Structure formats: C-alpha cells, structure tokens
Amino acid sequence: MMAMHRLRRNAIKLEGERSSALDLARGRLVLISAFFGLVYLVFAIRAFDLAVIQAFEMPYESEAVDVVEVEERTETRELSVVAKGRADIYDRNGELLATTLKTSSLYADTHLISDPEKTARELVEIFPKLSYGKVLHKLQSGRRFEWIERNIHPEKIDQVLRIGEPGLDFKESYRRFYPQGESTVHLVGYGDIDAQGLAGIERSFNNYLNEGRELHLTVDVRLQHILRRELESSIRKFEAKAGAGVIMDVTTGEVLAGVSLPDFDPHDPGHAEKDEIFNMLTLGVYELGSVFKIFSTAAFFENKDVPMSVTFDASEPIKVGRHTIRDYHAENRVLSAPEVFMHSSNIGSALMGQAVGTEKLRAFYKDLGLLDPVDFEVREVATPLVPQPWREINTLTASYGHGVSTTPLHLVTGVSSIVNGGYAVKPKLVLDETVSKTSTDVRVVSAETAQRIRQLLRLVVTEGTGSKAEVKGYRVGGKTGTAEKIVNGKYDNKKKISSFIGVFPMDAPKYAVYIMVDEPKGQKDTWGYATGGWVAAPAVARVISSMAAVLGIPPAPEGSAPNHFGDSLRQFVSAKEGGR
C-alpha cells in the first residue's frame, strides 16, 4: 500500500516537471519568435525607407552617405522644388522679364575619382571662373557628394563627359533667367543660386513668386531700352562715371522705365562691382540743384496770392552770415517770377523760399514726399538727407536744390504730383491692382498753381536753359539742374550732377522723363560746358522723340494747341526785356 502511494507521488512529480519544461520551452519559442519578428519588422521598415522614401527624396547613386550629406541633399531638393514652381515676371505688355528654366548641375563622388589632380585641371579649363585649388580640395575630400558647378550650359556638359571621369555626374536643377539681361536688373532684381530673390522685385515679392503667382510690372521694355540707350550715350559722350533715369506716367505714378548705370548681368551678380550693384535710382541721394526750383516756386504761388508778374531783386548776391548766394549766369537786375524760373536764378528762388517761410516750405516738401523714404515696391530705398536743425539759411538753399539730398525717384514723383493738376501720386512698379494701389485723390497744390508751373516749365524749353529738350510737335516743358557735389565736406565745382526733368505734352501732361548724369566733363562741341542744359536736356529730347515713335503719339499740328502754355509768358518776358 505504501509502495503504491510512493509510486503515484513520483508519477505526479514527474508529470509536473514535464509540464514546467514544456511551458519553459513554449515561452522561449514565443520570445525567439517575437525577436525574429521584431528584426524582420526593422529590416522591412529600413527596406521601405531605402526603396521608397529616400529614393523619392534623394535620388543619388551613392549608398554610403553621412548625416551632413543627407541634410544637404534634402535641403537642395526642397530649394529646387521651390525654384521650379517660382512664377514668371512680365512687363506691362506681356514681355518676359524673369522665368525659371530646367538646368543641369555638376557634382562629384570623390570615392570614384581616379586622378583628382588631372580632373581638377580639366574642370578649370572648362569652367575658367573656378579655382584649381578649391576644385582639387573638393575632389580629395572623401565625400560621396560635392557640388562642382551649378546650372551649366549644355555645351559644357558635353565637355565634362569627354573627360571620361566616372566620379563626375549631373543633377537636374532649376535656374532663374532674365531675358532682358542688364536692362531691367535694378527694377526686376536677381536671385541666388537657388533662385531666391536678393534684390528688386525678386526680393520684395519672394514668397509671392514662390507660391506660383506671376507678376506684371508697369515697365515697358521698349521704353526701358530707349532710356538705357540714351543715358548710356550721354555718359559715354561726357566721360561721366554714372547716371540714372526714369520715365513715369504723371497721372498714375507708374514707372514705365527706370535705369541705373553702370549695371550688371543678373545671371552673374557675384562678379559685379559695388558701383554696378548700387541702384542710383532708389538708393542714391543727391543734391539735385535747380530742378528743385519747381518745388520752391510751386510753394511760393501756393502760399502767396500774387500775380505771375511779381518781381524779385536779383541785382546783388544774398549774404547770410558766412554764406553767399549767387547766380550761375547772373542777370544783375530785378527779375519777374517767370524770368527767375527761366534763367534759373538762385537769388530769385531763395527770395521765394524766404517769402514762404521755413515751416511752410519744409511742410510743402514733406507733403510731396521729398523728406521721407519713398514708398515703392522695391525695398532698396534710401532716406533723404535733410538739415537738422533746419535753419533760415537751409530754407534759402533748399529753394534752389542745395542742402536737401533725395533720390531721382523722389524728384520725378514730386514733379508728377504737381504737373498732373496737383494730385499726389506714389511711384508704382507692380501693375496688378490687387497687389499695389496708387491713390490720386490727395491734392498737394491747387489747379491754378499746377497750371502756372506748367507754363513756367514750357517757358524754360522755349526761352530758357532747357532749349535743347525741345521736340517739335510735342510741347515739351522742363527744368535743368546742375549741382556741385560735396567732396570732403566742401562743394567741388569740378564734380557736378547734371540733370533735366522733361514733361510732355504740356497742354495735357502724361509723361515725365528724367535723366541725371554723374560727374560729366565738358566737350569741345559744348564749349567746355557740362551743365544740365548741355548734358541731360538733349538726351531727354531723344528719349521723347523715340517714345513718340514707339507709342504712336502723333505730333500736334502747328497752331492747334492752346497758346497759353508758355506762349503768353514768352510774350510777357519779351516785352519786358525789350523795354529795358
């Protein structure tokens, strides 16, 4: 009995041990299965990453890349996608100003470069702007991806292939192209290697363009080429260092053309000189001389209830403290207001400014926008230089364009706001009204003052210093400006800014044309003169003549236009001079 009980207990113990062993084996099997399942899952995820995700994000042949290279390639792809979708820029007539095209860029897998020295020499022969030392350094870096040259010409691709180096390959990319080249660079701007805007409209509307929304500008490329041609011709003839020019619609403020010379190739801004990149049109602030007499004269008539025949004693220079104000070509007599303007008398203009008063003259200039940065779609704009504090002597000198420095764009905008009937305009470069609007309902001068200024501008061309701006049939009006530049704190009479602002047709003003030439030199056929009347006025006349042909503006028949735009003043001046 005892034996049977012992046998049964041993059997139960054995069965329990077998059951425990079986459970242990099963647990180990589950653990091993889970481990292999996890390993399989990891490999599956990695395979999917390599085969799908990275194949889409980084289409490169190299398999061994470090983290830095992966980040570089991902960033490059993102920028390339942005560049690909960047919208075009057009002029007002639909002419292409900027677009994005597919290109090829050269890179190297340095693990596969068999002869770095030889390859570097051959690459520099193909791309002369590259440095042999820098190329050699890249080819010996040990990296699987090194950019050699971006956005290369198809002809260069063939030359690279002829090297026969397996470590050199190409990647598709996108580049910004500017069909008008240098001509529009200071307005349209340019971008970096990945087509992101660095200046001009490209910079101001960088995100807008990246979203794929195209822009149409107010520029007319036909007028742009005309303006650039004539400005360049004047700079070359008078051996000047630089120049700027603007054509504006005086009724809307639309910039139809804008040039700053010297300029540069927007496809290669990295090799441009500082003076080429500098936009004189919006960044250059200058004392522009007698063209400012338009503003002081307008302020005088706006604030004083006087007839056009009012006179000013210009027989002697004005002395204020240590300052003496003289006329460039002194008449040494009493002058009427039209004569002050026609002969460009500094003395007469200073007396006008004195009559207006410091506070009112400064407020008038501010209302015209001459004392603040210009509100413009291009972000590269300068702040005018204004006397601080503004004393009485500053009022006198500011009346004839000394002591206040502004940009050419400021000047043309201010003149447009007066001659269009007296309504303020803002310079405008984007044609799409949903992006930028121009207000023309703010009056800065009365219709009567605007009319008087138009008469005076016409008189300057028919009888005064701007006679070389006359274009038969188009009744051009305008004003000359010749200002000495400040060098080392003193005015240098050998270095001048010579300019002319022309407006036409004066019986119904539509266009303003301004040309400014920096440091012109007198020539034999100008009897050594390099003033605005000799340098800039003829260039403005040529621009107007070409504009009329391009835009199809017919000349006014003789005797068809009203005679009060300058003709009655001419009769008044002639009668007065004949009675002396």
- Angle (CA) 424-426-432 rounded to 5° is 130
pLDDT (0 to 100) of residue 321? 83
Q: Look at residue 569 and tell me whether its pLDDT is greater than 90.
A: no
How far is Cα 349 from Cα 381, in angstroms, rounded to an integer? 29
pLDDT (0 to 100) of residue 436? 46
Would 317 be classed as within a structural domain?
yes
Residues 6+ apart with CB under 8 A from 191: 176, 197, 198, 202
Q: Look at residue 291 and tell me whether its pLDDT is greater than 80.
A: yes
- Summarize pLDDT for 337-384 with one digit per residue, the tens: 999 999 999 999 999 999 999 999 999 999 999 999 999 999 999 999
Counting Cα atoms < 13 Å in the Cβ hemisphere of 88 gives 11
How far is Cα 453 from Cα 444, in angstroms, rounded to an integer? 13
* Enclosing domain of residue 249: 224-578
Would 170 be classed as within a structural domain?
no
Would 318 be classed as within a structural domain?
yes
Would 526 be classed as within a structural domain?
yes
Q: Across all residues in the chain, what is the average pLDDT? A: 85
- Is 499 known to be catalytic? no
- Three-state DSSP at 135 gives helix
Segment 518-536 mean pLDDT: 93
**What residues pair up with 334 in beta bridges, in sequence order?**
313
What is the total count of domains within the chain? Answer: 1
Would 514 be classed as within a structural domain?
yes
Would 204 be classed as within a structural domain?
no
pLDDT (0 to 100) of residue 541? 98
Segment 404-408 mean pLDDT: 96
Integer angstrom CA distances of residue 310 from 293, 409, 563: 16, 32, 21
Task: Calculate Rg over the CA atoms of the chain.
Answer: 37
Q: What is the DSSP letter of 51?
A: I
Q: Look at residue 46 and tell me whether its pLDDT is greater than 80.
A: no
Tell me the longest C-alpha to C-alpha distance in the chain. Answer: 165
Least confident of 217-221, 223-227, 433-437, 473-477: 433-437
Integer angstrom CA distances of residue 378 from 203, 370, 562: 8, 17, 39
Segment 134-146 mean pLDDT: 93
The CATH number of whichever domain residue 317 belongs to comes to 3.40.710.10
pLDDT (0 to 100) of residue 154? 83
Q: Look at residue 83 and tell me whether its pLDDT is greater than 90.
A: no
pLDDT (0 to 100) of residue 579? 39
**What residues pair up with 312 in beta bridges, in sequence order?**
335
Segment 479-499 mean pLDDT: 91
Q: Which residue has the tokens 């063939």?
A: 158
Residue 466 gets the label, from left (phi > 0), alpha (psi -120 to 50) or beta, of alpha
- Angle (CA) 211-214-216 rounded to 5° is 150
* Nearest alpha carbon to residue 471 among 547, 419, 405, 413: 547
pLDDT (0 to 100) of residue 15? 52
How far is Cα 574 from Cα 566, in angstroms, rounded to an integer? 12
Would 163 be classed as within a structural domain?
no
Q: Single out the catalytic residue among 80, 183, 204, 290.
A: 290
How far is Cα 64 from Cα 54, in angstroms, rounded to an integer? 13
Q: Look at residue 570 and tell me whether its pLDDT is greater than 80.
A: no
Would 137 be classed as within a structural domain?
no
